[in-house]
Structure 1
Amino acid sequence: MRLSGIIVAALAGRALGHGDHGSGSQRPVVDENASWMQKHMAEEHHAADFDAASFFALHDFDGDGSWDGEEILRTYGLMDESNKHVTEDRKAEIVGVITKLLDTNRDGVVSRDEFVHVIEVEGKTLPDMGTGPGHHGDDEYEYEIHHWEK
């Protein structure tokens, strides 16, 4: 891994780390009645404070300013090995629910502006779809973050 990659991984780990999910030493404490978004940000990214724009940007995995079905699946951890049991029909259902909630102009993708409007102006939140906290780092990312935090 090049030095720049190591530096980026280290900085990302401090700001948005995934962690080992067990120690809780760096993870903010979240009320059991918190929204799925709050629980996700605390467990997966060790962030207690965030706004809709930062949540969106963090989960715009290809950086194109919009979420498509694959990014929704990844946000919900459905590309992770821990959710390999989730059927394709269920994945399609989840993408449909989230797209219906957020895609206000019905063009099939969720823009940053749509996301921010629905979350901040309409006061809605991403629902808990029963797929866990949303693990979405690949193995290399997980390894780097785990060892950085140790």
Structure 2
Amino acid sequence: MAPTYTFRPMNTADLPLIRRWLGVSHVRQWWGDPDEQFALVSGDLGEPEMDQFIVLAAMRPFGYLQCYQLTAWNTGLGPQPEGTRGIDQFIGESDMIGRGHGSAFIRQFVDGSFRQGLPRMVTDPDPRNARALRAYEKAGFVRERMVDTPDGTALLMVREP
């Protein structure tokens, strides 16, 4: 049985942890320049359309998850049902990679969102990020189509309730 994860709302006290995670090679590879990403993530703390969480397993923080109103950042994903949200995440702790945590916490978070009435969740990983694609597919997302975003070509993946 998969562990139960806790999604604690991120706050300013978490910023040093986020800064550290953005600097590790496996996060930097897909999220890009750590300073630029830190400015974006920390700048979104007060953004009402963006929910940010620290993901914990057995009370240990190991990942970051952001979930946002798609209309605020819908750049190239095409029309989506009203209320659709987007999700991005990473595992910051190296020893937690390759153990099934990514797909398990994504599934738990999205299932909880659907129980609250969310009509659809989307994500747009880099199509070369095989680990992310596998995690999202294991969490129930399906590949829809390639899309052009401000960050380059991405694969739109969708999950319905």
Q: TM-score, normalised on structure 2?
A: 0.26
Which has the larger helix fraction?
Answer: 1
Task: Give the greater-gyration-radius structure (CA).
Answer: 1
Q: Which structure carries more relative contact order (alpha carbon 8 Å, separation 6+)?
A: 1
Which has the larger share of strand? 2
